[in-house]
Amino acid sequence: MIHIFRQGSDSSKPTLVLFHGTGGNEHDMLPLAEMLSPGSSLLGIRGNVLENGMPRFFRRLPSGVFDEADLVARTHELKAFLDEAAAKYGFDPARLTAVGYSNGANIAGSLLLHYGNLFSSAVLLHPMVPLRGLTPQPLDGVSVFIGAGVNDPLVSAAETKELHELLASAGADVTLHWSNQGHRLSVAEAEAAKEWLDSQSF
């Protein structure tokens, strides 16, 4: 997979695994990650799917509905890539924090549901419920920050709450942060995510 890895300066901090939104690339989330956790190693990944020339992490059907079979396959593909990247770059696979926005938050959520404690923590910004009808793997010991916009035209409040309940029911410690915004990221939301991440013990 196309990616970028930046070795951090602080080995006490987790490696941040970065998942961009639709149309982004492996560089998009780097400035946010550097603000969230200065000194962390960073692994930015580019989605392997193109939608009208825009990179994504999994396909959508023409109706805009997730292609669930592709989502599951891409989830397993990403897990294999993370295993390979840990061996190649020497970061601790037990100390990973996912940071995903929109489509990237959805694939990060799918990785949590399929693999449980693959990430010790996750910052999911404007995520949807990636899959329904799936019994999630245990998420005990995993902390999740969900950033949501009260005026988000793409993600309803009900869907955000459904994801919160799904992750919490699997054992995750979930913090839900609402901002007075739409689907775009805001400085206030990023600052709230940083404050939350700073409060985590790694």
60: amino acid identity, one letter: R
CA-wise closest residue to 125 among 201, 87, 182: 182
200: amino acid identity, one letter: Q
What are the start-end ranges of the H helices in the chain?
30-36, 68-89, 103-115, 157-169, 187-198
Catalytically active residues, by annotation: 102, 152, 183
Q: How far apart are CA 52 and CA 80, in angstroms?
A: 26
Dihedral of the CA atoms 176, 174, 115, 103 (nearest 10)?
Answer: 10
97: amino acid identity, one letter: T
Q: How far apart are CA 153 and CA 43, in angstroms?
A: 29
> Which phi and psi (to 5°) does residue 144 adopt?
-130, 130
